[in-house]
């Protein structure tokens, strides 16, 4: 069962912030975040393994609330290069910890 | 550094034809998987493998077969193509799917007419 991402789409001006949410109905072992540019393969951003964990990558960070099976991706002071589709991937405890299931994606457009 | 290589990049099939999408990785990853990407639906897991000789179904396995005879290769077979299988297919590999980065191939755009 796919995790649910929100919002479906975001439009930003350069320098603005955004938050993308990911929610699962299953207990999660880990949450993964990827970004995909049009016509390209998805590229890894980060993995969160523990409840309460937060990670950062330049001005992109994420948090994981294991009690709520939710994760959020924070994009701060957005740049034109942040444009693309963001996917959260979840690995539930069920299924032998081997299934990486992605959400439907959030389209982000950053304009000058 | 080749990473994950998919062939072909583009393919047009007629309904009922069969074909194999190839995927090879040179990172010695035990875990490999196939996804299909359709507009508005994200990446959906078709089949995956945790090592040579071991495969299992994902979310949308119907109409697809896989096998894993070597660590490097994980082909995806369409036995009788249907228009509903028109999609972009991505192969991915990782050291551990639950703890490590997945590396994706560049995708195969398949059209079934």
pLDDT tens digit sequence for B23-82: 999 999 999 999 999 988 899 999 999 999 999 999 999 999 999 999 999 999 999 999
* Residue A4 C-alpha, separation from nearest chain B C-alpha, in angstroms: 11
CB contact under 8 A, B98 and A100: yes
Task: Encode A17-45: b = buried (16+ Cβ within 10 Å), e = exposed.
Answer: ebebbbbbeeebbbbbbbbbeeeebbebb
Q: What is residue A20's predicted lDDT score, i.e. its pLDDT? A: 98
Q: Rounded distance, CA A64 to CA A110, Å?
A: 25
Q: Write down the pLDDT at residue A101.
A: 95
> What is the nearest CA distance from A89 to chain B, expressed in angstroms?
9
The one-character DSSP state at B73 is B
The minimum CA-CA distance between A23 and chain B, rounded to whole Å, is: 15
CA separation for the pair A24, A94 (Å, rounded): 13
Please report which confidence band the pLDDT of residue B99 belongs to, taking 50, 70 and 90 as the band edges: confident
- What is the average pLDDT score of chain A? 92
Kindly list the residues from chain B whose CB atom is less than 8 angstroms away from the CB atom of residue A44. Answer: 101-103
Q: What is the pLDDT, as a whole number, of residue B16?
A: 97
**Which residues partner with A109 through β-bridges?**
A11
Inter-chain touch B106–A99, beta carbons under 8 Å? no
Lowest mean pLDDT among A91-105, B8-22, B35-49, B59-73: A91-105
Q: What's the CA gap between A85 and A28, in Å, rounded?
A: 22
Instruction: Give the model's confidence band at A51: pLDDT under 50 very low, under 70 low, under 90 confident, else very high.
Output: low
Which pLDDT belongs to residue B48?
96
Is the pLDDT at A105 greater than 80? The verdict is yes
Instruction: State residue A71's pLDDT score.
Output: 95
Whether the predicted pLDDT of A52 surpasses 70: no
Q: How far apart are alpha carbons A48 and A107 in whole angstroms?
A: 21
Q: Cβ of A100 and B40 within 8 Å?
A: no
Least trusted range by pLDDT, from A4-13, A15-24, A47-56: A47-56
**Residue B1: per-residue pLDDT:** 67
User: In this predicted model, which residue has the larger pLDDT, A52 or B31?
Assistant: B31
- Residues A62-83 have a mean pLDDT of 93
Confidence (pLDDT) at A100: 94
């Amino acid at each position: 069962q796919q995790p649910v991402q929100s919002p479906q789409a975001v439009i930003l001006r350069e320098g603005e912030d955004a938050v993308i949410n990911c929610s699962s109905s299953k207990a999660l072992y880990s949450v993964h975040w990827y970004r995909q540019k049009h016509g390209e393969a998805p590229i890894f951003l980060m993995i969160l393994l523990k409840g309460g964990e937060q990670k950062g990558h330049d001005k992109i960070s994420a948090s994981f609330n294991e009690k709520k099976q939710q994760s959020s991706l924070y994009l701060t002071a957005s740049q034109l290069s942040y444009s693309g589709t963001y996917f959260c991937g979840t690995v539930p405890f069920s299924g032998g910890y081997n299934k990486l299931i992605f959400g439907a994606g959030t389209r982000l457009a950053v304009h000058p | 550094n080749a990473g994950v290589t998919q062939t072909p990049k583009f393919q047009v099939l007629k309904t009922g034809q069969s074909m194999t999408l190839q995927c090879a990785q040179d990172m010695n990853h035990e875990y490999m998987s196939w996804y299909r990407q359709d507009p508005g639906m994200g990446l959906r897991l078709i089949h995956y493998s945790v090592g040579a000789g071991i495969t299992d179904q994902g979310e949308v396995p119907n109409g697809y077969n896989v096998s894993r005879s070597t660590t490097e290769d994980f082909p995806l077979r369409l036995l009788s193509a249907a228009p509903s299988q028109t999609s972009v297919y991505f192969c991915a590999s990782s050291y551990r799917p639950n703890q490590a980065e997945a590396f994706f191939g560049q995708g195969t755009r398949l059209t079934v007419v």
